[in-house]
Amino acid sequence: MFRSHLLRLAVGVVSLTAVAACGAPAPPGAAAAAATTPPPQLAAFHDQQITWQPCDGFATSAADRALYANDRFDCARVQVPLDYADPDGPRGQVALLRAKARGEKIGSLLVDPGGPGGSGASFVASLGPVWDNVPVGERFDVIGFDPRGVGASTPRVDCFTDAETDRNALPSTYLFDVADTDRARDIARRCTDATGGVEALTSVGSDNVVQDMDVLRAALGEEKLTYLGYSYGSELGAMYAQTFPQNLRAMVVDGAVDPDISEAQLRLSQFAAWQKAFDDLAATCATEPDCPLGTDPARATEVFQDLTRPLLDHPAPTTDGRTLTYADMVPAVYSSLFSPAQRPQLLQGLRDLAAGRGDTLLALRDAALGRGPDGHYGGSTHIDANLATRCMDNPRRTPAEQAELRDRARRAAPFLDPGRPGGPTHYECEGWPEPPSRTLPWSTDTAGLPPTLTLSLTDDPGTPYQGGVHLARALGGSLLTVEAAQHGIALYGGNACVDRAVTDYLVDLVTPPPGARCGG
């Protein structure tokens, strides 16, 4: 899932406190096994020296340029093989941003904010006030990395111009808007040409990112990796743990993806979670004056449909000359359900739409898809990279399977049903130049792992709760249940119980007791 909402949530979070441990430390020797020695052909990558420098030149958006100008941060690039089967061949570079430890350093904490397509560098920079005030920022160099395909890393996935993305030329994960094989092939061709060829485009699968993470660990001088991953970052963490179990010191995953289900099943679970979040919003809204969803929660879906379906034929005007289409509205709405803090703005957007204006919802859409005020897409979210990584990670679906998924998704979330018969639809990855490179299931063998910590939120609208339960079980680690209705919470969400547990674990390797829970 996209992580731009995490950056919005982070604003104003400046003071979190850790207190005494709430569980038992990891058993002696749990992480004492020697780190895996890299194959000789990768030694040069593992042994490279990182040269840290000011972050000028690493930002890919105006917002990031302002964030990266902070002297608190420095940046670097680490070389990696484009193809790990051919380490003497072409190379890529992974960009890093570091918030240096304020005190006695334990090591480096590698952070991925999710996506795929999320910029770890942008995420870590946006949380600068957090690292300045929490023990994790005192004891660790916090390292955000742009996975290959994203941001300042190379190769960088590029498919469409900013103007084309404004017109929703890139297919949406949730709109099922690829009409035929020719359109699927055109998308793949555009991405291949603009990214630098087939080898570059198809190198961005998660299996290669996991290999990159181990190069980063070694280049950072860490015998063992300490990792914090949100949402899709939980997939990277679990895959790393399976591939390099002896190289892992500690791992926190938050908003975990379910390892027991397919990508199609994950999408369906998200639609169902969005409908529940929408229903909860409608119930709360009905008690307030001027609720755009009406005073009867049982009719809220119908009211929403009546309000948004006309956008299919008549986009709403905005003050900057653009218009709000139905395709714009969908990401504006579902991304706003990720956080209670965003829901008032969503309701205001619906009020504005009822009055004939699309400005507020279009602003929410732009934030979700990484569009800056200057019209440039990038920064915290890279939607082209999201597509390319998914295409290299997940099995292809036939047109019949894609149509069935669409129809089931609309039944799971009727408030997002456009109300028109579904025509032909093709999987957005159908025309990709290479087959998927990731082995599924992506988490199976957890032998030899140290204790891990999985956070799962009871009403998470992005990665439903049971996914975290299943991933914690697959990892053989601890589960912390958090009673909250948002997507991700660790260290930036202002929840003292959660931050205490995460800090105790990352700093002292103390895990919460079985059945541990934190209130919202």
State the pLDDT at residue 328: 97
State the pLDDT at residue 33: 59
Q: Is 126 in contact with 159 (CB distance < 8 Å)? A: no
Supply φ then ψ for residue 387, to 5 degrees: -60, -50
Q: Is 480 in contact with 512 (CB distance < 8 Å)? A: yes
Query: CA-CA distance, 76 to 437, in Å (whole number)?
Result: 28
Query: CA-CA distance, 219 to 217, in Å (whole number)?
Result: 6
Closest CA to 233 of 58, 78, 454, 10: 454
Residues marked active site are found at 231, 460, 487
DSSP state of 37: P
State the pLDDT at residue 422: 87
Straight-line distance from the first to the last Cα atom of the chain, in angstroms, rounded to the nearest whole number: 22
Residue 360 token pair: 């507020």
Q: Which residues of 195-209 are buried (b: 16+ CB within 10 A; e: fewer)?
A: bbeebbbbbbbbbbb
Average pLDDT over every residue of 232-240? 98
Query: CA-CA distance, 378 to 64, in Å (whole number)?
Result: 9
Give tens-digit pLDDT for 88-127: 999 999 999 999 999 999 999 999 999 999 999 999 999 9
Q: Is 510 in contact with 27 (CB distance < 8 Å)? A: no
Q: Is 256 in contact with 456 (CB distance < 8 Å)? A: yes
State the pLDDT at residue 16: 26
Give tens-digit pLDDT for 320-343: 999 999 999 999 999 999 989 999
Q: Is 114 in contact with 209 (CB distance < 8 Å)? A: no
**Count of beta carbons in the 10 Å neighbourhood of residue 323:** 15
Contacts (Cβ under 8 Å, ≥6 apart) of 496: 16, 17
- Would the pLDDT of 19 be above 80? no
- Portion of the chain with pLDDT greater than 90, in percent: 89
Per-residue pLDDT band at 27 (split at 50, 70, 90):
very low
pTM for this entry: 0.93
Q: Is 26 in contact with 449 (CB distance < 8 Å)? A: no
Cβ burial, residue 50 (10 Å; 0-12/13-18/19+): middle
Closest CA to 337 of 256, 425, 415: 415
Supply φ then ψ for residue 141, to 5 degrees: -70, 115
Residues in the chain: 520
Hey, what's the torsion of the CAs at 246, 250, 254, 259, to 10 degrees? 20
Contacts (Cβ under 8 Å, ≥6 apart) of 85: none
Hey, what's the torsion of the CAs at 177, 178, 179, 184, to 10 degrees? 170
Give tens-digit pLDDT for 127-159: 999 999 999 999 999 999 999 999 999 999 999
Q: Is the dihedral of CA 382, 385, 387, 389 positive or negative?
A: negative
State the pLDDT at residue 492: 94
* C-alpha distances out from residue 111 to 31, 37, 242, Å: 20, 23, 18
